[in-house]
Amino acid sequence: MTDSELRLALEAVLTVAIEAVPSDALADLVGEDEPVIRELLVAIRRDLVEQGRGFHLVELASGWRLQSNPAAAEVVQRFASRDLSARLSTAALETLAIVAYRQPVSRAQVATLRGVNVDGVVRLLEQRGYIEAVGRAEGPGQPILYGTSEVFLDRLGLSSLNELPRPENLLPSAAEAELLADELTGTSTP
């Protein structure tokens, strides 16, 4: 690889790395000697600083990592403080699955299926745009009925709810379940 190809590869890997990456691991990855990689990393670090970029390449005890430029700390802090996390708790995922497969469904119906109060989780899913009110049930109080939104479909890469996997396809067959039960109990079926 040329130096520019190596730089491109190193920058790409460091951009997607969650943890700091040691220079020897980067060298192994691109098939080059560690001193060459180290020299390129130092050059990348210097170039980012000279160009006044929004991120810096830093060397930590555990390796190299891209991180935001300290000059932008105030803006980054404001961004990080906002509720923009894409991760959902187990409770939220369970609630979302119930809404996806049983829609339209009321909060009370979801709470009955989950066995716990789901008010906060439903509010969170609604705020994030994964579910939305799709109508009202007939009967006392006419509770709001919820269904999934286009955001939900987009996040899962689906064009319609028909593409959701069928629940029965997610469960093991009777024979597989029996084998698993035998493994867990330490018995075997003849």
| pLDDT per position as a tens digit, 135-159 | 999 988 899 999 999 888 887 777 7
CATH number of 90-164: 1.10.10.10
* Number of other CB atoms surrounding residue 20 within 10 Å: 17
Residue 83 has pLDDT above 70, yes or no: no
Q: Does 90-164 match 3-73 at the fold level?
A: yes
Q: How would residue 84 be classed by pLDDT, with cut points 50, 70 and 90?
A: very low
How far does the chain reach from its first CA to its final CA, in angstroms? 59
User: What pLDDT is attached to residue 189?
Assistant: 52
100 within 8 A of 93, measured Cβ to Cβ: no
The 10s digit of each residue's pLDDT in 38-60 is: 999 999 999 999 999 999 999 88
Is domain 3-73 classified as CATH 1.10.3720.10? no
Residue 71 has pLDDT above 80, yes or no: yes
Question: What CA–CA distances, in Å, run from 102 to 69, 98, 153, 161?
Answer: 46, 6, 15, 11
Cβ contacts of residue 169 below 8 Å, gap of 6+? none
Please indicate whether residue 123 or residue 189 has the higher confidence score (pLDDT): 123
Domain-wise residue ranges, the chain: 3-73, 90-164
Answering whether pTM is above 0.85, one says no
Question: For all residues of the chain together, what is the average pLDDT?
Answer: 88
Q: Calculate mean pLDDT across residues 92-101.
A: 93
pLDDT at 72 > cutoff 70? yes
